[in-house]
Amino acid sequence: MLNVLQLNADYTPLRVIRWERAVELVLDGKVVQVAQYPGRFVRSATLVLPWPSVVALRRYSVVRGKVRFSSRSVQARDNFACGYCGARPVLPDGRPDRVQLTMDHVVPRAQAKEGKVYLPWSRKWVSVTCWENAATACRACNSRKADRTPTQAGMHLRIFPRVPTQSDALRMTLSRLQSLPESWLEWLPTSAVRADEAGALPDEATFQKA
Ligand SMILES: [Zn+2]
């Protein structure tokens, strides 16, 4: 729980960075501290700094972050819910039960021509395994759909399979964290926030520039 929420110069949330990186950016004057972890400090050879929890860039940055494609990332994009029936299986501790979820090729591999499939909804050819042809499906829906398109199977896909947007990417990052610090909440869209409590944090750390 040593992470820092980085905001753009317009105070829209950008990404989560490690605290060492945040301190570096503070010392280089690239960001301003927006919020701190109360009562906690980072010490370097020359100064004592309130431990940042939220920082904002001084200059606006146009971000084109890319999320690496994986079945886990597809699940995170889809909020760990089945794209067909909406089921969101969870473990007893509330985390998503990923074993119950599969990655569905919306237009199935069996209908691919030379590794490509035609997506009628976006009127283009794409690789069979890509963001735009991948959806999270529970095991029951995946086996019911089998080697058919949703239309052929008479099933309705509730999500629009897409390359993750910047806000998807942030939400996906946040979904990996055990808990979100209190001070982040006012900067995050509610869609990105899960109900969580703050985690334990050490009182102090020593910073050395790499
Ligand atoms: Zn389902």
Tens of pLDDT along the chain (210 residues) come to 589 999 999 999 999 999 999 999 999 999 999 999 999 999 878 889 999 999 999 999 887 768 899 999 999 999 999 999 999 999 998 889 999 999 999 999 999 999 999 998 889 999 999 999 999 999 999 999 999 999 999 999 999 999 998 888 888 888 888 788 989 999 987 766 653 333 334 455 565 654
CA dihedral (11, 16, 19, 20) positive or negative: negative
User: Ligand 1 mean position to 206 CA, how many Å?
Assistant: 48
User: Ligand 1 mean position to 105 CA, how many Å?
Assistant: 14
User: Ligand 1 mean position to 87 CA, how many Å?
Assistant: 6
Q: How far apart are CA 206 and CA 188, in angstroms?
A: 28
User: Ligand 1 mean position to 90 CA, how many Å?
Assistant: 14
The pLDDT value given to residue 120: 86
Q: Which two tokens stand for residue 175?
A: 């979904």
The pLDDT value given to residue 94: 84
User: Ligand 1 mean position to 83 CA, how many Å?
Assistant: 7
User: Ligand 1 mean position to 135 CA, how many Å?
Assistant: 11
User: Ligand 1 mean position to 112 CA, how many Å?
Assistant: 23
User: Ligand 1 mean position to 70 CA, how many Å?
Assistant: 19
The pLDDT value given to residue 178: 76
User: Ligand 1 mean position to 82 CA, how many Å?
Assistant: 5
User: Ligand 1 mean position to 132 CA, how many Å?
Assistant: 19
pTM: 0.76
Q: What is the 3-state secondary structure (H, E, C) of the chain?
A: CCEEEEECCCCCEEEEEEHHHHHHHHHCCCEEEEEEEEEEEEECCCCEEEEEEEEEECCCCCCCCCCCCCHHHHHHHCCCCCCCCCCCCECCCCCECHHHEEEEECCCHHHCECCEEEECCCCEEEECCCHHHEEEEEHHHHHHHCCCCHHHHCCCCCCCCCCCCHHHHHHHHHHHCCCCCHHHHHHCCHHHCCCCCCCCCCCEEECCCC
Q: How far apart are CA 63 and CA 203, in angstroms?
A: 33
Q: Are 16 and 2 in contact (CB under 8 A)?
A: no
The pLDDT value given to residue 195: 39
User: Ligand 1 mean position to 79 CA, how many Å?
Assistant: 13
The pLDDT value given to residue 199: 37
User: Ligand 1 mean position to 129 CA, how many Å?
Assistant: 20
